[in-house]
Structure 1
Amino acid sequence: MFEYSLLRAVPRQERGEFMNVGVLLYCPEEKFLRCKTSVDENRLRALDPDVDMELLRDSLKLWCGTCDGSANSPARDTTLGQRFRWLTAPRSTLLQTSPTHTGLTEDAARELDRLWRTLVLVTPTPTA
């Protein structure tokens, strides 16, 4: 069993618009908590031309580092489950999470990659 949440860039909270920029996946059986990110800067600037890309990149780096324990974060000394709950707590910042979803998998890393490819990356639409 695993839980995941999408990482969303929300450049202007008052508008309620967002773009998926990553996936956070927690699998207690595999002792796995990781995130995978990708930011399409042009798409995000369509929502807000003045979005602070440096702040977003720094935030994503901190969140991913909190997952694997490499970041100097207050959550670093907690369990993986506690970290996941801390990261997915509601907030009103540039980087937010979706509601948490659950699923079944035998390979958390493969599932993270699948979710990232299908829910974050934009695939080009074939032209006729």
Structure 2
Amino acid sequence: MRAHDSYDYAVIRVVPRVERGEFINVGVIVSCEKTGYLKAVVELDEARLRALDPRIDLPTLRRHLDAIRRICEGGPGGGPIGLLPQRARFHWLTAKRSAVIQTSQVHMGRCGDMDAIVEHLMDRMVRVS
């Protein structure tokens, strides 16, 4: 059995009207420096977003959220930030900002299966049951 590794994660939030401060959790970013793991998963609930802002520009929002995934994957597809080392990309993605797309503060944990923890975090933090 694989030993447990430390990981960091942040929840991706959409704040359709920043001045109001209301947000919906739409995904997670998980990073494990030891294993070189960096992944973002996003699931948009359009009805919930439209409840906060009926005029939200979903195509633009989707493009920006997809950029997070590409930055996590690394390489030229993630633009200049995608070329940074894995840990620097995670810190760039989770930096505090006042924008439509934000992240929670960074939390940490330990597990042996990073893909399983991504699913667990999505179930717990993003998906509405």
State the TM-score, normalized to the length of structure 2: 0.91
8 Å CA contact retained: 2:50, 2:56 = yes
Please list, as runs of the form range in 1=range in 2, the aligned pairs for 1:4-23 lying within 5 A after superposition: 4-23=9-28
Letter of the aligned partner of 2:44 in structure 1? V
Query: What does residue 126 of structure 1 align with?
Result: none
1:62 paired residue among 27, 50, 67: 67
After TM superposition, where is structure 1 displaced by more than 3 Å over at least 4 residues in a row? none
Distance 1:109 1:99 in 2: 21
Distance 2:34 2:78 in 1: 25
Distance 1:52 1:10 in 2: 12
Q: For this pair of structures, how many residues does the alignment match?
A: 123
Unmatched 5+ stretches in structure 2: 1-5
Identity among equivalent pairs (%) = 40
8 Å CA contact retained: 1:30, 1:108 = no
Query: What does residue 99 of structure 1 align with?
Result: 105
Unmatched 5+ stretches in structure 1: 124-128
Distance 2:35 2:114 in 1: 7
Root-mean-square deviation over aligned CA pairs: 1.0
Letter of the aligned partner of 2:11 in structure 1? L
Distance 1:45 1:72 in 2: 28
SS of alignment partner, residue 5 of structure 1: strand
8 Å CA contact retained: 2:14, 2:100 = yes
1:40 paired with 2:36, answer no
Distance 2:74 2:21 in 1: 31
1:122 paired with 2:128, answer yes
